[in-house]
Amino acid sequence: MIAALWFGSAAFLIGVAAPAAFRAAPDSTVAADVVGAMLMRWHYLALALPLILFALLWKRARAALIVIVFAAIVLAALQAMVDVRIRKVRASSILPISSLSRTDPLRRSFGMLHGTSSLLLLLQAIAAGVVVAADTGRNSTATEESYPP
């Protein structure tokens, strides 16, 4: 259930919430503020849920699964740090980032950080999906073995 909540929250953020914010907001700055607020809350889930899984699986799970969960914790911490830098870049600009020239160093820095943050979020979602799939596969095998045909 913990892994499903972790995966579901990442999938919802990537596939539903962020795109909806950019479609519904009057401009990209407002949308970025909304998504940024969601990401601040996501960071708590992205760190807490894999930490709980790590503690629960530490002695019982295969080593590969432990490595994936640990990597996800590292990815979550990195994403939180990158998002702090994104906020600083946005705050340091007197104009909205989207209004800056594409060659502006601040906009280029923002773009690099945004791309890194997006990649880290995607990698966390993939890690969560792998954990859910591993758990689902383990549970379906146990169910099949416990009920003879």
CA distance 15 to 125: 11
Residue type, 73: I
Sequence-distant (≥ 6) Cβ neighbours of residue 146 within 8 angstroms: none
CA distance 98 to 123: 26
HEC string of 44-103 equals HHHHHHHHHHHHHHCCCCCHHHHHHHHHHHHHHHHHHHHHHHHHHHHHHCCCCHHHCCCC
Sequence-distant (≥ 6) Cβ neighbours of residue 125 within 8 angstroms: 7, 10, 11, 14
* Residue 123 tokens, joined: 């990698």
Tokens 């099949």 -> residue:
144
Q: Global pTM?
A: 0.84
Sequence-distant (≥ 6) Cβ neighbours of residue 87 within 8 angstroms: 36
CA distance 114 to 118: 6
In order along its 149 residues, the chain shows pLDDT tens digits of 999 999 999 999 999 999 999 999 999 899 999 999 999 999 999 999 999 999 998 888 888 999 999 999 999 999 999 999 999 999 999 999 989 999 999 999 999 999 999 999 999 999 999 999 987 766 554 444 443 44
Cβ atoms 95, 33 nearer than 8 A: no
